[in-house]
Amino acid sequence: MSQKEMWYETLHAGFGQYFTVDKEVYREKTAHQDLIIFENQVLGRVMALDGVVQTTERDEFIYHEMMTHVPLLAHGQAKRVLIIGGGDGAMLREVCRHRNVEHITMVEIDAGVVTFCRQYLPNHSAGAYEDPRFHLVIEDGVNFVNQTSEKFDVIISDCTDPIGPGESLFTSDFYQGCQRCLNEGGIFVAQNGVCFLQQDEAVNSHKKLSHYFSDVSFYQAAIPTYYGGIMTFAWATNSPVLRQHDVATLQQRFHAAGLQCHYYNPAIHVASFALPQYLLNALSA
C-alpha cells in the first residue's frame, strides 16, 4: 500500500501535530493566503491557511457553538451581529440559529476562503450564506470597524492567529474600532489561541482590550485540533453582569431559543469562564 502523504502543522516551532492526507480536495494560493482542504480519516475534511489548521468537520462544532451561543445567550436580546473573519461559514451557521437576530454582517478579508469553503466545506455553512439576514463585506476587519457607521450588539472575531492577515485583528486599533461600533450592553469575543502555548497572546489581548472595555476576561473550551490544550476566547464588555449569569437564567434563554447543541449547554457556559491559575497569574502579573 502506498505511503500516505502527511501534512504537518507549522504554527508552533518544535511541537505540533500531523494529519494523514487521504485525499487533497482543493488547494489554492488566494490573494491573501495559501488555502488547502483535504480529507483525513479521523477528522473528515480539514481546512488550513498558511500551514495552520483553521477547522475540521469533526470538531468544528465545539468552537463555533462556544463562540456564538455564549455571547448571544449572555446578551439575551442581540439583534445585530458582526462576524470578523469566519470565511468557512460555520460561525454564520450558528448565529443564524438565533431567530431573534435580525441582521448579520460578516467581514472577511479573503473572498477565496468564502468561495472555496462554500464549495468544498458545504457542511460548515450548511446554507447559511443564503440567509436573508446575512450581509458579506470583503474587507480587512480593522478597516471596517474603524470606518463603519453601523452598530452591533455582539462582535465575534473568528480570525486566524496573529500572523499574516490575522495580525491586524489583535491590535489596539482593531479593539478600539470594535468598542466604537458596539451598542450599549454589547459583547466582543475573539479566538485568542491555546493559552498553554500562546500565553503571551492572551496577556497582550487582555492588556489592549482593557484600555477600551471595563470588563475583560476569557472563557475556554478544548478543541482537539487547536493543538496543545484549552483555547481561550477573549471576552470584553462594559457590563460585568453579562458574564455572571447563573445556569437557571441561561437554561431559560437556551430553551426559549430552541437550540439543540452537541457541546454547548448552560452549565458548560458558566463553567467555561473558570480559568487555569497559570493564566490568571499571567494576566495579573
Nine-digit cell string for 63: 468552537
HSE of 46 in the Cβ direction (CA atoms, 13 Å)?
25
Among the listed residues 108, 190, 250, 266, the single contact to ligand SAM using CB under 6 A: 108
- The catalytic residue among 158, 161, 200, 246 is 158
Cell of 209: 482590550
For the bound state, the minimum distance from the C-beta of residue 256 to ligand SAM, rounded and expressed in Å, comes to 28
Interface residue with ligand SAM among 48, 104, 107, 156 (CB under 6 A) is 107
Query: What's the rounded Cα separation, in Å, for the pair 209 and 174?
Result: 10
Map residues 21-60 to x or -, x wherever contact with ligand SAM holds by CB under 6 A.
Answer: ---------------------------------xx-----
Stretch that binds ligand SAM, among 102-110, 124-132, 203-211, 252-260 (CB under 6 A): 102-110
Least gap, CB of 90 to ligand SAM (angstroms): 8
How far is it, in rounded angstroms, from Cα 165 to Cα 12?
18
Q: Contacts with ligand SAM in 182-221 (CB under 6 A)?
A: 191
Among 105, 160, 179, 198, binds ligand SAM (CB under 6 A): 160
Count Cβ neighbours within 10 Å for each residue of 186-204 and write b for 16 or more, e otherwise: bbbbbbbbbbebbbebbbb
Name beta bridge partners: 83: 106, 156
Record the cell numbers describing residue 190, joined without a space: 475573539
Q: In the complex with ligand SAM, which residue's Cβ is closer, 94 or 110? A: 110
Active site residue 50: no
Burial profile 119-142: b = 16 or more Cβ within 10 angstroms, e = fewer: ebbeebbeebbeeebbebbeebbb
88 forms part of the interface with ligand SAM (CB under 6 A) = yes
Binding residues for ligand SAM, rule CB under 6 A, total 24
Pick between residue 88 and residue 153 the one whose CB is nearest to ligand SAM.
88
Closest distance between ligand SAM and the C-beta of residue 255, in Å?
A: 28
Is residue 140 within the footprint of ligand SAM (CB under 6 A)? yes
DSSP 91-119: HHHHHHT-TT--EEEEEES-HHHHHHHHH
Q: How many CB atoms lie within 10 A of CB 143?
A: 16
Calpha distance 164→166 (Å, rounded): 5
Q: Which stretch binds ligand SAM (CB under 6 A): 104-112, 198-206, 238-246, 272-280?
A: 104-112
Q: Provide the binding-site residues for ligand SAM, judged by CB under 6 A.
A: 54-55, 63, 84-88, 107-110, 113, 140-141, 158-161, 165-166, 168-169, 191
Residues with a catalytic annotation lie at: 158
